[in-house]
């Protein structure tokens, strides 16, 4: 059992290079990811309908699969503490504004926690095991544990395991008010 490759989109220039030469220095407590050119990995028609977090998760996954020379993993396992926060906020706003009427199914579908894993499976045409763990701060670790158990039990040989989360302005303000960020 070993890790063949990894990929990350982060506030540092890590995409395609997990050991950046020149780290970016930030002032303040809110960092933004350095996003890649998604057109090199994702179909432009799909990109139009994807939120930022779905693009980041899908691009990272596809990059890792390409680096591993793997088209279709035996399983896709994702961990997320908060899910697609921006999409959830949009869905809830529309629900309030429209008084719970005339809501599009797309807004709801993209607000669910398993959207990133599902989108990766659709892109890869993976009809195998696909699971998303929502365990607050232990989501990624739980996804890794599930992957380890699948490998150990012989249920799968090649897995895609990942973690994805985003902080939107509203949640950042709340967490900042609770004193969870260093000043």
Give the Cα-Cα-Cα angle 135, 15, 169 (nearest 5 degrees).
Answer: 55
Residue 115 near residue 109, CB atoms below 8 Å = yes
Task: Give the residue-averaged pLDDT of 79-107.
Answer: 86
Bigger pLDDT: 174 vs 74: 74
**Quick one: pLDDT at residue 82?**
87
Q: Is the dihedral of CA 118, 120, 125, 130 positive or negative?
A: negative
Burial tier of 172 (Cβ tally within 10 Å: 0-12, 13-18, 19+): middle
CATH code reported for the domain at 70-177: 3.40.47.10
**Quick one: pLDDT at residue 10?**
92
What strands lie across the sheet with 159-163, from one edge to the other? Answer: 129-133, 75-79, 159-163
Bigger pLDDT: 20 vs 164: 164
Task: Give the residue-averaged pLDDT of 79-108.
Answer: 85
**Quick one: pLDDT at residue 18?**
67
Break the chain into its structural domains and give their ranges.
Answer: 70-177
Burial tier of 163 (Cβ tally within 10 Å: 0-12, 13-18, 19+): buried
Residue 60 CB coordination number (10 Å): 25
Chain segment 53-83, per-residue pLDDT in tens: 999 999 999 999 999 999 999 999 999 998 8
Burial tier of 43 (Cβ tally within 10 Å: 0-12, 13-18, 19+): exposed
> Is 70 exceeded by the pLDDT of residue 91?
yes
Q: What is the mean pLDDT of the chain?
A: 90
Q: How far is CA 156 from CA 7, 12, 143, in A?
A: 21, 32, 14
CA 126/CA 58 separation, integer angstroms: 13
Bigger pLDDT: 106 vs 115: 115
């Amino acid at each position: 059992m070993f890790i063949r490759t990894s990929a990350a989109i982060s506030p540092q220039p890590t995409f395609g290079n997990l050991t950046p030469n020149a780290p970016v220095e930030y002032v303040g407590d809110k960092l933004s990811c350095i996003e890649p050119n998604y057109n090199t990995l994702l179909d432009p028609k799909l990109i139009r309908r994807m939120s930022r977090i779905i693009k980041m998760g899908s691009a990272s996954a596809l990059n890792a699969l390409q680096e591993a020379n793997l088209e279709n993993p035996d399983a896709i396992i994702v961990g997320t503490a908060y899910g697609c926060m921006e999409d959830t906020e949009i869905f809830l706003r529309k629900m309030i504004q429209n008084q719970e009427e005339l809501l599009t199914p797309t807004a709801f579908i993209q607000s669910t926690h398993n959207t990133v894993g599902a989108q990766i499976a659709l892109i890869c045409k993976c009809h195998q095991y696909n699971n998303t763990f929502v365990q607050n701060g232990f989501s990624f670790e739980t996804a890794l544990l599930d992957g380890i158990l699948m490998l150990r039990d012989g249920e799968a040989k090649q897995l895609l395991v990942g973690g994805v989360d985003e902080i939107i302005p509203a949640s950042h303000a709340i967490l900042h008010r609770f004193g969870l960020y260093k000043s």
